[in-house]
Amino acid sequence: MKRYAMETVVGLFVVVGIICLGYMTIKLGKANIFGDDDFRLFARFTSVSGLRTGSPVEIYGIDAGIVEHLSIDEDKSMAVVTMKLKKGMKVYDDGNAAIKTSGLIGDKLVKIDPGGAGDLLKPGSWITDTSAPLDIEDLVGKFAFGDVTKKSKE
């Protein structure tokens, strides 16, 4: 009788351990099994140079989500960025999105200025006001070869 009691306790301990391990795997892997805590917004850019799937999306410098997918809108000849934002982030129809560099030579990210004077964007909506990233190579090339003009004060 005592032997079966010990085996039962060890079995329960193993089952609880496996459940805890599974839970931690899901939480640390940021997988959403029990519900979606995020929503998607879309934006079109003339260039998404340096931006990648998984790049961060920031609102007011706070991590608001990630870039989920990059594609091409052939009808409008523009790049489409699908962003997965955390639930509770508010972006309005007068907001804008810009591709910026994190640090001096860092990776690209999407910075969203959420606006506030318009209507709240619903999941699946488009951010219409966008800015493409500055191309540092073009600027250096223009400066090196004299294409940059100096404005004189008159």
Q: What is the pLDDT along the chain (154 residues), one digit of tens a residue?
A: 666 788 888 889 999 999 988 888 877 766 555 556 789 999 999 988 888 999 999 999 899 999 999 999 999 899 999 999 998 899 998 999 999 988 777 788 999 999 888 889 999 999 998 988 776 667 777 777 776 565 555 5
Q: Give me the residue spans of the domains in the chain.
A: 1-35, 38-135
> What is the DSSP-derived secondary structure letter of residue 120?
B
Note if the pTM is more than 0.75: no
